[in-house]
Amino acid sequence: MVGDSVYERQNFGNSVGFGSRPALLIVDFQVGFIDPAVFGGGNIKEAVSNTAFLLAGMREIGAPVAYTRAVFDEEAVDGGTFALKVPGLYRLKESAAISQITPDLAPRSGELVLNKIGPSAFFSTPLISWLSKQSVDTLIITGATTSGCVRASVVDSCSYSFRTIVATDCCGDRAIEPHEANLFDIGQKYADLMTGEEALAKARAAVGRNE
């Protein structure tokens, strides 16, 4: 990508590494964000399939798993400026079919499901306290969209000093160009980039060291 040498010269893109207590965060893989007729498109369906593999592996090692859903008030009053930019978000009512987590990644008992009204998984949710209670130090992030709610969640994860890992093939966007550009920028500033398979191998090794 143009400008790579500038980032290297200025010493961006270093690794945050992997800690000892990983968790998985799945951002907004809801029916409506997978359907191209609603908010989907691009490579989101493929990202869901790849996340299913990662999710199965994280469950196998007993890692904490959290989901977010973008869900808005029935009276269409809680979306703030986010919904001014994208008024269609108000279609995501609590009971609407498009608001539900895709069946391919259906949550299990004991896994956290959070509703949110902003881009970040951390904004006005108890995610930080839930992660802290379980001594999580490394957060693997997947979801949709890479340029939107995934990126916002990554920035906040970094701000809270979690070792943040973005599973590149487990994130999707409705257009490939913003997906690729945001992954590049995230990798330079906020998180380590790995495939889902690579992240799972690191998570397995970390959990194995704790046993």
Q: Which residues are identified as catalytic?
A: 149
Tokens of 118: 């902003």
Tell me how far apart the alpha carbons of residues 55 and 35 are, in angstroms, rounded to a whole number: 21
Buried b (16+ CB within 10 A) or exposed e, 17-27: ebbebbbbbbb
Sign of CA dihedral 64, 68, 73, 78: positive
